[in-house]
Amino acid sequence: MLGQRRSLAAVEQEEWDLIVIGGGITGAGVLLEAARRGHRVLLLEQTDFAWGTSSRSSKMVHGGLRYIAQGDIRLTRHSLLERERLIRELPGLVERATYLFPLRKGVFPGRWPMKAVLWLYDFLAGIRDHRYLSREQVLQRVPDLKGDDLTGAMSYTDALTDDCRLVMRTLLEGCRHGGWVRNYTRVESTSRDGDRFRVQVKDRESGETATLNTHRVISATGAWADRLSGSDPRVRPLRGSHLFVDPAKLPVKDCLTVMHPDDGRPVFVFPWEGVTCVGTTDLDHPQDMDIEAAASHQEVDYLLKLVNTQFTEHPVSREDIYSTIAGVRPVIASGKGVDPSKERRDHAVWGDNGVVTVSGGKLTTFRLIALDALLAAGLLDETTHRREQKSDAPGFTPITDAPRAVESFMQADQTEPAFIQWILEQEAVVHLDDLMLRRTRLGLLNPAAGMAVLEPMKAAIQAQLQWDDQRWDQEVRRYLDIHQRYYGVPAAEPRKACG
């Protein structure tokens, strides 16, 4: 079990086989695959688990139709096989969902090209789930969709998850195999000492520092990877933002792909944990990576424009948005300065002076990315790597001694007392924002930062975390400040006065 945070002194005493830097899905995957093989492995996260990109994705466990469109059959096939594996192994956390691709008169791709692509997509996954829906059938399923030039839709399936809970579940599995994890612990630097490494770390809560000893280091620091890699910069940080909208104002039952009227980019509108999610954008992110990413007012305008031109019934305004979220995609740059949406989304593994860096890729393929990183770090040989890539052996074993929501989060009541108690006991919550924004999504899925749902949980949280009233007030202030700055709805730019 994850349990409470361990003291720095306890982790300093150990001689580690592997230290993993970064507590997103990539680091979690590396922890799990290393611990499963009996290595003594410690994962360090500078803020909270899944605080980086892995809590801010589009939540899709998918093959990615865009990869087929870009001719990347290998990435699509790998992603699809991993998707099927995760649906099988984590029912209730990774769930198959229906996707609709509306077809419009004179707009490419039409019915037959889409059918050919979806035939291949299903073939690569080993399923047959796609079909054509007539205009009437589409409007029955999505009555609010603009019908003017609609001719029908292609329906197919992919999967949805909660990215944070997927990270927590993977960390938990890694810990069940003997792995250790620590959040709010930043790696300041690494240095080589013969065949070992010294890893300088700082506890961001207490300010304590320590030097840890390990035989190998894997940096899974995503968009931050260039900082510790010691080699030339390779990551092009691209920001993508989403809106979480009142479902009464934008009701959808399926995941819709709609084309933005300004630039023809596909944007998803989909039901997620009781709200409607709209995204994403795709922009260069030159901002300081020490500051949490946030959606700009232009991105909110862009996504609202899509909604209000593609759906007819209820105009959606800023007041209907509960929250926003922005993530920075660690795209491995082609160096050609191409349009952000044209950069490849594959991962890369590279090394310098023995520190292996892994960045890029997708949530969906975290197991394969982890195997590549372990191969590069010399913790897996070529034969085992090849065998494991294709292996059907289960990656997760069911948890039977936890509240149902731990395994079936997508169908859970996130305020269920037993579940909250489990999180507080088992999931190393340090701040209130860890609980409201990542362990649960209550702060994103409710109006006014979810303060109304937080209030009834106050006594349980205070008792479990031993927070007196002063600490509680501090935590609430901190949480609301973070929410307003990085998860709120930026006001529209004031119109410039004429003359």
Ligand X SMILES: Cc1cc2nc3c(=O)[nH]c(=O)nc-3n(C[C@H](O)[C@H](O)[C@H](O)COP(=O)(O)OP(=O)(O)OC[C@H]3O[C@@H](n4cnc5c(N)ncnc54)[C@H](O)[C@@H]3O)c2cc1C
Of residues 55 and 155, the one with the C-beta less far from ligand X: 55
Give the whole-angstrom CA distance, residue 97 versus residue 140.
Answer: 18
Q: Which of 46, 155, 157, 440 binds ligand X (CB under 6 A)?
A: 46
The least distance separating ligand X from the CB of residue 121, rounded to whole angstroms, comes to: 15
Neighbours of 143 (CB within 10 A): 12
The least distance separating ligand X from the CB of residue 463, rounded to whole angstroms, comes to: 29
The least distance separating ligand X from the CB of residue 181, rounded to whole angstroms, comes to: 11
- Note whether 433 binds ligand X by CB under 6 A: no
- On whether the CB atoms of residues 457 and 262 are closer than 8 A, the answer is no
Q: Which of 187, 303, 371, 375 binds ligand X (CB under 6 A)?
A: 187
Of residues 229 and 446, the one with the C-beta less far from ligand X: 229
Matching residue, tokens 């209907």: 320
The least distance separating ligand X from the CB of residue 395, rounded to whole angstroms, comes to: 16
- Note whether 221 binds ligand X by CB under 6 A: yes
Stretch that binds ligand X, among 100-108, 135-143, 326-334, 422-430 (CB under 6 A): 326-334
The least distance separating ligand X from the CB of residue 54, rounded to whole angstroms, comes to: 3
Q: Looking at beta carbons, which residue is closest to ligand X?
A: 24
- Note whether 183 binds ligand X by CB under 6 A: no
The least distance separating ligand X from the CB of residue 51, rounded to whole angstroms, comes to: 5
Stretch that binds ligand X, among 51-59, 375-383, 423-431, 446-454 (CB under 6 A): 51-59
- Note whether 23 binds ligand X by CB under 6 A: yes
Q: Which of 222, 237, 395, 443 binds ligand X (CB under 6 A)?
A: 222
The least distance separating ligand X from the CB of residue 457, rounded to whole angstroms, comes to: 25
- On whether the CB atoms of residues 330 and 205 are closer than 8 A, the answer is no
The least distance separating ligand X from the CB of residue 498, rounded to whole angstroms, comes to: 37
- Note whether 155 binds ligand X by CB under 6 A: no
Number of residues this chain uses to bind ligand X (CB under 6 A): 40
Of residues 154 and 363, the one with the C-beta less far from ligand X: 363
- Note whether 271 binds ligand X by CB under 6 A: no
Site mask for ligand X (CB under 6 A), range 60-99, x = bound: x-x-------------------------------------
The least distance separating ligand X from the CB of residue 13, rounded to whole angstroms, comes to: 20
Can you give the binding site for ligand X, defined by CB under 6 A? 21-27, 44-47, 51-54, 56-60, 62, 186-187, 220-224, 228, 240, 280, 327-330, 359, 361-364
